[in-house]
């Protein structure tokens, strides 16, 4: 079922849907996760494998959008058409459940970060944090009910708000990047030297797949696309953009601190990384996150 012209989404809006869906709480824990698991070489191999695999998935969504334009409800429509109504229901239910969990994780991240300024929010799990997060979620819900264009506008604003602090973090790391430190972290450090490269890469594969959840964002809203070809283009462009962010956020810390310090980079507050090297930046980095 198509949407009226007033409800059509541009290529930019669809791309923002993909980026906004993929950039979640997972990216903020990458320095610590990789610092605990592998060195520079293992991280490069892990992202090469994950990137190649997810690129093929992005191509699948692009081909499906072009060859099956009548299936315009995303992954659940493909599941229902290919395997029946029950499979379609399981796909839709699973997608909804993942969305709920993602909302919870991201609001915990927000409240834990705000806890640096407002102690009542603590680590994001206090009564005040839960109440404020619930009210905010319901406000977003009612705004989205007004129509897809309003939802897309909100998503674009939220996407920009999520990407900007990541770009700030990347710029800071580029400014203090040291090639000799990057090389020293090639194989990891400490007990990591006794772990094979294969085991190091394997230890990171789960998180590299997890952070790509949301790659189907444009496909889910394909019925609202101005042009059917925009769905595939948005999926590919969004994937490439997010992959660049993920790789930079993961690899740049290896050129700024030893693996021992990278492990201390908290998953909820990025200022831990910056403070370890400069002793400054906690308030500003918390505000960005």
Q: Specify if 178 maps to a domain.
A: yes
In this predicted structure, what is the pLDDT of residue 149? 78
Higher pLDDT, 191 or 228: 228
Number of domains comprising the chain: 1
- The pLDDT of 80-84, averaged and rounded, is 90
Domain contains 279: no
DSSP the chain: ----GGG-B-HHHHHHHHHHHH-SGGGGGHHHHHHHH--HHHHHHHHHHHHHHHHHHHHHHHHHHHH-TT--STHHHHHHHHH-HHHHHHHHHHHHHHHHHHHHHHHHHHHHHHTTT-GGGTTTTSHHHHHHHHHHHHHHHHHHTT-HHHHHHHHHHHHHHHHHHHHHHHHHHHHT--HHHHHHTTT--GGGGGS-HHHHHHHHHHHHHHTTTTTTHHHHTGGGBSSTHHHHHHHHHHHHHHHHHHHHHHHGGGGTS-HHHHTTS-SS-THHHHHHHHS--HHHHHHH-
**Whole-model pTM?**
0.79
Q: How confident is the model at residue 25 (pLDDT cuts 50, 70, 90)?
A: low
What integer best gives the mean pLDDT of the chain? 81
Q: Is residue 112 part of a domain?
A: no
Q: What confidence tier does 4 reach under pLDDT thresholds 50, 70, 90?
A: low
| 133 domain-assigned | no
Please report whether residue 33 resides in a domain. Answer: yes
Q: What is the pLDDT of residues 32-54, one digit of tens each?
A: 888 888 888 999 999 999 999 99
pLDDT on residue 260: 54
Q: How confident is the model at residue 156 (pLDDT cuts 50, 70, 90)?
A: confident
List, for residues 248-280, the tens digit of each pLDDT value.
999 998 888 765 555 555 443 444 555 554 444
Q: What is the mean pLDDT of residues 5-12?
A: 75
8 Å CB contact between 259 and 188:
yes
Is the predicted pLDDT of residue 221 greater than 90, yes or no? no
Centre a 10 Å sphere on the Cβ of residue 164 and count the other Cβ atoms it contains: 11
Q: What confidence score (pLDDT) does residue 270 get? A: 46
* Domain-located, residue 3: no
pLDDT at site 237? 92
Give the range among 15-19, 168-172, 254-258 with minimum mean pLDDT.
254-258
User: Can you give the pLDDT at residue 9?
Assistant: 84
Domain-embedded: residue 135: no
Q: How far apart, in Å, are the Cα atoms of 221 and each of 22, 69, 70, 218?
A: 15, 12, 13, 5
Residue 167, pLDDT score:
92
Residue 245 has pLDDT above 90, yes or no: yes
Domain membership of residue 64 as a residue range: 11-71+150-273
Q: Taking 80 as the threshold, does the pLDDT of residue 159 lie above it?
A: yes
- The verdict on residue 208 lying in a domain is yes
Phi, psi of 283 (to 5 degrees): -65, -45
* Contact between residue 7 and residue 225 where contact means Cβ atoms under 8 Å apart: no
All residues at 6 or more sequence positions from 9 whose CB lies less than 8 Å from its CB, including other chains: 17, 148, 149, 152, 221, 224, 225, 226, 230
């Amino acid at each position: 079922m198509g949407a009226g012209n007033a409800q059509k989404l541009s290529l930019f809006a669809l791309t923002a849907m993909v980026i906004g869906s993929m950039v979640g709480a997972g990216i903020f824990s990458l320095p610590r996760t990789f610092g605990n698991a592998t060195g520079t070489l293992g991280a490069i191999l892990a992202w090469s494998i994950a990137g190649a695999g997810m690129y093929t998935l992005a191509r699948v969504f692009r081909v499906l959008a072009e060859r099956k334009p009548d299936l315009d409800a995303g992954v659940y429509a493909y599941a229902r058409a290919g395997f029946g109504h029950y499979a379609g229901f399981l796909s839709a239910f699973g997608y909804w459940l993942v969305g709920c969990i993602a909302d919870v994780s991201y609001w915990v991240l927000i409240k834990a970060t705000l806890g640096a300024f407002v102690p009542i929010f603590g680590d994001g799990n206090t009564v005040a944090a839960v109440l404020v997060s619930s009210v905010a979620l319901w406000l977003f819900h009612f705004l989205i009910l007004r129509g897809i264009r309003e939802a897309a506008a909100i998503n674009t604003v939220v996407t920009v708000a999520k990407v900007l602090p990541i770009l700030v973090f990347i710029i800071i790391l580029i400014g203090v990047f040291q090639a000799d430190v990057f090389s020293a972290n090639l194989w990891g450090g400490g007990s990591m030297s006794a772990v094979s490269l294969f085991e190091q890469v394997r230890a990171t594969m789960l998180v590299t797949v997890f952070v790509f959840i949301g790659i189907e964002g444009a496909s889910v809203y394909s019925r609202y696309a101005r042009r059917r070809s925009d769905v595939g283009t948005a999926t590919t462009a969004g994937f490439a953009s997010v992959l660049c962010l993920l790789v930079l956020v993961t690899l740049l810390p290896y050129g700024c601190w030893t693996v021992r310090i990278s492990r201390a980079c908290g998953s909820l507050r990025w200022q831990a990384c910056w403070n370890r090297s400069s002793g400054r930046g906690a308030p500003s980095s918390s505000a960005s996150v």
